[in-house]
A and B are shown apart, each in its own frame.
Chain A
Amino acid sequence: MTHRRVGADVVLIGGGITAAMAAARLTEKRPGLRVIVIEAGQRLFDFENRMSQRERYLAYGENPWPGDFIPDQGGEGVISRSMAVGGSAMHWGGVTNRFSLEDTRLRSMYGLATDWPIEWDELERYYCDAERQLGVCGEEPPLPEDKRSQPYPMPAMPLSYNLKVLKTWSEKSGLPFGATPAAKNTVDGYDGRSICMRCNTCEVCPTGARYSPDWTFKRLLEQKRIELHDQTLVRRLVPNGTRNWIDSADAVKEDGTGDTVTYEAGLFLLTAGYAWSSHLLLLSAGGRSPGGLANSSGLVGRYMTGHSFIQGWIEMDGQLYPGMNDQHSLISRQFFRCAPSSPFVRHDLRVWDSSVGKGPQLKNEAGAVLFGDDLLSDWRKRTRGRAVARVRTYVDVHPDRDSRLTLDSTNLNRWGDPMPRVEHRLDAATNARAEATRAHVSSLFERLAESDNGRVLSISEGDYLDHPGGGCRMGTDPAVSVVDSYGRAHDHENLWVLGSPTLPTGGCTNATLTFVALTLRSAEKIAASLPSGG
């Protein structure tokens, strides 16, 4: 085993979408910096294998991203298993909805949770920026409240036949629906990627039409704008003994050598996502920071957030043909707004075609086993004349202070470090309105079902929070937040936390675009904060 010391201007810890965006923007604004991205997992720059991996995934259910995790580097709770260059965004669905003004003004508009320390108009500009960086396709939103300052970079994903049928059906409810925006190419060659071929497996896009961070990292490496140290696990940040400053980061190689590395840099950017960013800060406790770094507020690992969800299946008259671009969907943003005088409920509303209940079945309703033509006949009967839509709401719920990430001393990795445990808890106001929220969503699904002889087949609630964030929430008051609106730690001048951990609340729609928009804003601030000349 060897030990070496590496110096850099900026070190980014964690190599997912946040690091890709931050590194790209930082090196664009400040060329010549020595920027190192450290990632515990390996690089999966094997685009040529995606089609065959997709085939194995479809045929056998195998992980379509072989090698994208570290077996002993996992936690409890909602924590993505993915640990590789590109992170979870290697296999995301590409949905890029925006939050709305209300998300940033929950306290002042509704007396709930907290306000974000950022103005909506400024965030909206960074949404446009993020959409360009990721290559987002979308259509002008129908509601004036969703007004955009710039058009989408690419035209919307065309609606499938099924979605056209469902749009007609769903709009009979009086709600406006449109194509869900997505980071998928509807124009061949945008940012060097090919056009979508609606393969139906966005989680492993075999054509490269859906954005994934490997594209950005490969480009940055080709242009020699960054160094990428993969298979390198940062175990501790080392603070200065007297100043509010991070001196170094101690890491160990995950390549089987066990070699250790100490990184010394002027700036440390935590870009490790919502779980591993808080985890590293807590893991780095000691000396003047017995509760963890950046944690004078005691809030590192607290206010872990996300959105809950309620989904249903609705059967109606009509004929659909599931299997063609099923991951594309309709969205209504009608319920992003809630009149302050009304009971609080905010959510998005998505619609997909579904084959639930429409698949081949071994037994008929009487329980008799079916073979051959009888099975086919039974299957046909269930697919004719009646269609099924899947409908889902992501509901705006707010975290309690005790919605936490903690270090689990019963679960250690091979280096003896405790792994994270995430336990989401909702605040009292959210719990108090839960029944009313259920009733509202149930009534909404019934309203949708009313047209075309429809009926709600079932409704279910998720048992976890989706698109998790938080743990290092941003704010202006160091007593009740971990970082400022740009992600700079209140406690350490040269430590920044970027992206998902900084969210005070999780919104009511997919959050990746918001993580990216905030990251781009942070990166510009960081670039501007550096002394001229690097």
Chain B
Amino acid sequence: MRRRDLLKLGATVAALAATGVAAPEPSQDIALDFLPRGFTGLWPVAQAVLPKEIGAAGQKEALAAFVTWIHDHDAGRYLDPGYGHTRVAKSAAAPIERYRAQLQALGAAARRRHGKGFGALDLAARRALLVEALAALKIDGLGERPSGRHVASALMSHYFSSIEANDLCYEAEIGRDSCRSLAGSGERPEPLAKAPRP
């Protein structure tokens, strides 16, 4: 996680907690105190959609970064029009309420189908419910950046478009979009250091 994200977590929790209403999901074995009320259901989603290869700690970091991304979303900001385009668009309303409703819907579907909460299901059952939810919204791709359409695909998009995921994929220290010296431009990126995962 970037240092900037860590610094913002405190503010994130405070801001999101103020809007939360739903009860937290049970049976969590990792400290998730950064998740605001109404968003604790994100952890079982994160476990289902993020790679196990990054470990629980890595999943938690990815989730925290996503929560920060949600918090920092500003509605009504002008978007980059792109080269040569004459039309301008503004950013959409913050997806937070939609995401909260989607988490509640996942919980309700789990109880209806399996008689227990989403977080109490095994990964296969959770994923089956997520596949249905994504299909209902006709979500076929991840996009360059998270959209507000579904919280699960947005979390996946946020993580898999990250510098960390790109490095993990290539197993190399690419550091996409990072500013760095011109020295060493022509060198192949170093192999990714394998950190032990809890």
Contacts and interface: CB of A to CB of B under 8 A. Distances in A.
A323 B179 CA distance: 11
Contact of B91 (A60, A199, A201, A376): A60
Interface string A363-389: 100000101110110011001000000
**Interface size classification for chain B:** 35 or more
Given A81-B81, A321-B170, A321-B189, A373 B52 contact: yes
Contacts of A200: 176-178
A186 B80 contact: no
Contact of B88 (A71, A207, A323, A371): A71
Given A63-B78, A80-B84, A321 B140 contact: no
B53 A376 contact: yes
Contacts of B102: none
Given A371-B130, A376-B53, 17 more contacts: A60-B91, A63-B79, A74-B86, A77-B86, A159-B185, A195-B182, A321-B170, A321-B189, A322-B176, A324-B185, A359-B142, A360-B169, A362-B141, A372-B48, A375-B160, A383-B170, A464-B84
A20 B147 CA distance: 40
Contacts of B198: none
Interface string A151-187: 0000001111100100000000000000000000010
- Count chain A CB atoms within 10 A of each CB in B81, B139, B140, B153 and give the residue with the most: B81
B145 interface: yes
Contact of B80 (A57, A158, A373): A57
Interface string B159-193: 01101011011111011111111100111110000
B97 interface: no
18 contacts: A60-B72, A60-B79, A63-B81, A64-B80, A81-B88, A157-B182, A200-B178, A321-B170, A322-B176, A323-B166, A323-B174, A324-B176, A359-B142, A360-B169, A362-B139, A369-B127, A369-B130, A372-B52
Interface in B1-52: 48-52
Nearest to B77: A62
Interface string A49-60: 000000011111
> Mostly helix, strand, loop or mixed at chain B's interface?
loop
Contact of B127 (A60, A61, A77, A371): A371
B194 interface: no
Nearest to B128: A369
**Interface size classification for chain A:** 35 or more
A531 to B, nearest CB: 42
A79 B86 CA distance: 6
Contact of B141 (A63, A160, A361, A373): A361
Contacts of A60: 72-74, 77, 79, 91, 145
Interface in B118-146: 127, 130-131, 134, 139-142, 144-145
A118 interface: no
A422 to B, nearest CB: 9
A311 to B, nearest CB: 14
Given A59-B72, A75-B86, A66 B177 contact: no
Interface string A292-325: 0000000000000000000000000000011111
B147 to A, nearest CB: 10
A206 B178 CA distance: 11
Contacts of A62: 74, 77-80, 91
